[in-house]
A and B are shown apart, each in its own frame.
Chain A
Amino acid sequence: MSIDLKTIKHISKLARISVDEQRAEKLAGDLNSIFDFIEKLNELKTDNVEPLTSIAETTLKLRSDEVKSKNIREQIIKNSPQDNEDYFVVPKVIE
């Protein structure tokens, strides 16, 4: 298989990482060598194998739906790169 520049552009859009031409070419090379290595899995027949979806064979525990952290607005806002009193600020999205 081969991952071309068009695919790199598509993935970078999905991943929300801007990639310039030069990086795109480097990434295509890297990803192709990694996927060549991954292709080894196709040697294995797995039609009748159940996928492993959880390593710990336990069922999730139920708990009551209670608010445990109260009045932590300030703490939550503390690390924001840009804020305005009680809100996170992002670039304008509505014209």
Chain B
Amino acid sequence: MSDIIKQSLTELVENIKNKKLSSTDVTKAFIDRSEKSVELNAYITNDFTSALEKAKKFDQKPNLDLKLPGIPMAVKDLFCTKDIKTTAGSKILNNFVPTYESTVTENIWNEGAILLGKLNCDEFAMGSSNETSFFGNVQSPIDKNLVPGGSSGGSASAVAGQLTPVTIGTDTGGSIRQPASFTGIVGLKPTYGSCSRYGIVAFASSLDQAGPMAQNVKDCALLHEVISSYDPKDSTSIDFKRNHYSKELTNNIKGKKIGIPKEYRVDGMPKEIEDLWQKGIQYIKDCGAETIDISLPNTSYALPTYYIVAPAEASSNLARYDGVKYGFRAKGENLIDMYEKTRSEGFGAEVQRRIMIGTYVLSSGYYDAYYLKAQKVRKLIKNDFDEAYKKVDAILTPSTPSSAFKIGEKTNDPVSMYLNDIFTVPVNLAGLPGISIPAGHDTKGYPLGLQIIGKAFDEQNILNIAYAMEEKINFKNKITDWWIK
């Protein structure tokens, strides 16, 4: 059974469809692996008992026309799951059991998949290392004491460590692509409006998107096809014609024009990243596509803009956690005292920091100087991409300015932590799709990723480019199973 966990989602689906494997076989294998992997701390809540029951039930009357027939899957604990505790990695939601299901997870179960459990993440998805979770940090399957990235760190760790065949994360400033890059897997942040935000614990509503994380590009395309849908329950969901992303996947990218933005060559970027990027450019050319030097002049303003817009929206979204209707409540001498103590005891340090930044930039007298300014710069950043896409079909950049760092290395310096997202944040600000694919290793043997950024709604194109590059790169993740006793 040990080879089951090594199979890709596409292989598992095929093997279940032609009855070489049952859903029970597959579900058992991933539960077994997950139970042996407690040290990774990838799960906050497991649902193994009922997963096994669901698998047996599926096998009694298998519907093999579904896209994910009897496939077990763990998901980030930011997605509301009916009757299963959903914490967002926070003490304030430690006892919250949703009475409804997020649209994205509902789409997954409707295609036959089975919930394995809820995966650890940074508290309210605020973090780049999965160290801000109330439920403890997540270990990377790449190396002990290495961060898996964040905020979808449990998701990245679970896919790379083969605890789940694929998963979904959320990405507000890089929370899918950065951990994917750190753990040697594929992660897609779709166009804003492609996947419904209904039932996802909100962080920054104009930036948040759910997306797939997988071992390879084809699996990623298949899962994206399942989760992307128009949803009237999310007023920013967009009704556009969605592709059959996995069926239409092709490695023929001949004649495509790929932009190389000079502003992504940042000061102090390690030579390894530059070399990786050059290698990526060569792969693009080997695939018969063309690279073109482009300029995204306002790139260096993206991160400061993000650290106004995202905390501002977060401070507003997180105002709902007041200890009244659900979640944790602290004792207070009166109503106001109860609110203040609940939020002080219920939120962790990073979340409080961001609420404070957001409250400040929206407060009377500072709104124009900060929030309005940031919205204007956001427009300039989007204009940069619009201008570039007159000349190119997609853009190639590194996913992160470095490989994964050690647990504790950046926790005392928020700004150095924020700098991790320097290449991913502009994509969220412009609402575009971006995919990170593993492209090599640094001298320490840690994975490094390349990012392909597309035009809005052009997921098929960046999936195709990723698919073509993946074949050339032939990346092998170095998972030593260090945590298995």
In the bound assembly, the distance between CA atoms of A51 and B319 in angstroms comes to 25
Interface residue? B338 (CB, 8 A):
yes
Interface residue? B375 (CB, 8 A):
yes
Inter-subunit contact B335/A34 (CB<8 Å): no
Query: Known: A17-B347, A54-B206, A93-B335. Is A34-B99 also a contact (CB below 8 A)?
Result: no
Inter-subunit contact A31/B193 (CB<8 Å): no
Minimum CB–CB distance for B171 against chain A, Å: 14
Inter-subunit contact B334/A56 (CB<8 Å): no
Interface residue? B357 (CB, 8 A):
yes
Interface residue? A71 (CB, 8 A):
no
Which secondary structure characterizes the binding site on chain A?
loop
Q: Which residues of the other chain, A, contact B337 by a CB distance below 8 angstroms?
A: 18, 91
Q: Which residues of the other chain, A, contact B373 by a CB distance below 8 angstroms?
A: 41-42, 46
In the bound assembly, the distance between CA atoms of A58 and B429 in angstroms comes to 17
Query: Known: A34-B307, A91-B332. Is A17-B344 also a contact (CB below 8 A)?
Result: yes
* Complex partner residue of B376 from A30, A49, A54, A58, CB under 8 angstroms: A49
Inter-subunit contact B376/A51 (CB<8 Å): yes
**Which range contains the number of A residues in contact with the other chain?**
35 or more
Stretch at the interface among B34-42, B149-157, B378-386: B378-386
Interface residue? B372 (CB, 8 A):
yes
Inter-subunit contact B327/A34 (CB<8 Å): no
Inter-subunit contact A60/B235 (CB<8 Å): yes
Q: Which residues of the other chain, B, contact A8 by a CB distance below 8 angstroms?
A: 356
Interface residue? A27 (CB, 8 A):
yes
In the bound assembly, the distance between CA atoms of A15 and B351 in angstroms comes to 12
Interface residues in A25-48 (C-beta closer than 8 Å to B):
27, 30-31, 33-34, 37-44, 46
Inter-subunit contact B375/A53 (CB<8 Å): yes
Interface residue? A6 (CB, 8 A):
no
Quick one: which of A11, A27, A38 has the most chain B CB within 10 A? Answer: A38
Inter-subunit contact B97/A78 (CB<8 Å): yes
Minimum CB–CB distance for B395 against chain A, Å: 18
Our count of residue pairs bridging A and B at CB distance below 8 angstroms stands at 158
Q: Which residues of the other chain, B, contact A18 by a CB distance below 8 angstroms?
A: 337, 340-341, 343-344
Interface digits, A56-78 against B, CB 8 Å rule (1 contact, 0 not)? Answer: 10101101000000001001101
Inter-subunit contact B353/A49 (CB<8 Å): no
* Complex partner residue of B382 from A7, A15, A52, CB under 8 angstroms: A52
Q: Which residues of the other chain, B, contact A21 by a CB distance below 8 angstroms?
A: none
Quick one: which of A37, A41, A58 has the most chain B CB within 10 A? Answer: A41
Minimum CB–CB distance for A93 against chain B, Å: 5
Which secondary structure characterizes the binding site on chain B?
helix
Minimum CB–CB distance for B201 against chain A, Å: 14
In the bound assembly, the distance between CA atoms of A22 and B307 in angstroms comes to 24
Residue of A nearest to B352 (CB): A17
Inter-subunit contact A17/B301 (CB<8 Å): no
Interface residue? A84 (CB, 8 A):
no
Residue of B nearest to A26 (CB): B349
Q: Which residues of the other chain, B, contact A56 by a CB distance below 8 angstroms?
A: 192-193, 236, 238, 431
Q: Which residues of the other chain, B, contact A51 by a CB distance below 8 angstroms?
A: 372, 375-376, 378-379
Query: Known: A33-B415, A79-B96, A79-B325. Is A15-B235 also a contact (CB below 8 A)?
Result: no
Query: Known: A34-B357, A40-B304, A55-B431. Is A79-B326 also a contact (CB below 8 A)?
Result: yes
Residue of B nearest to A74 (CB): B99
Q: Which residues of the other chain, A, contact B332 by a CB distance below 8 angstroms?
A: 91
Inter-subunit contact B327/A81 (CB<8 Å): yes
Q: Which residues of the other chain, A, contact B326 by a CB distance below 8 angstroms?
A: 79-81
In the bound assembly, the distance between CA atoms of A75 and B82 in angstroms comes to 11
Interface residue? A12 (CB, 8 A):
yes
Query: Known: A17-B344, A80-B326. Is A44-B353 also a contact (CB below 8 A)?
Result: no
Inter-subunit contact A19/B344 (CB<8 Å): yes
Interface residue? B1 (CB, 8 A):
no
Q: Which residues of the other chain, A, contact B483 by a CB distance below 8 angstroms?
A: none
In the bound assembly, the distance between CA atoms of A85 and B445 in angstroms comes to 59
Q: Which residues of the other chain, B, contact A60 by a CB distance below 8 angstroms?
A: 235
Q: Which residues of the other chain, A, contact B343 by a CB distance below 8 angstroms?
A: 15-18
Q: Which residues of the other chain, A, contact B359 by a CB distance below 8 angstroms?
A: 11, 14-15
Q: Which residues of the other chain, B, contact A58 by a CB distance below 8 angstroms?
A: 193, 238
In the bound assembly, the distance between CA atoms of A93 and B335 in angstroms comes to 7
Residue of B nearest to A82 (CB): B329
Query: Known: A16-B339, A78-B99, A90-B338. Is A34-B415 also a contact (CB below 8 A)?
Result: yes
Residue of B nearest to A92 (CB): B334
Interface residue? A50 (CB, 8 A):
yes
Given contacts A37-B307, A41-B308, A55-B193, 12 further A-B contacts (CB under 8 A): A11-B360, A15-B359, A17-B352, A17-B355, A27-B356, A34-B353, A40-B301, A51-B378, A51-B379, A55-B430, A80-B325, A90-B335
The 8 closest A-B CB pairs, nearest first, are A51-B375, A79-B326, A55-B431, A81-B329, A18-B340, A52-B379, A46-B376, A75-B99
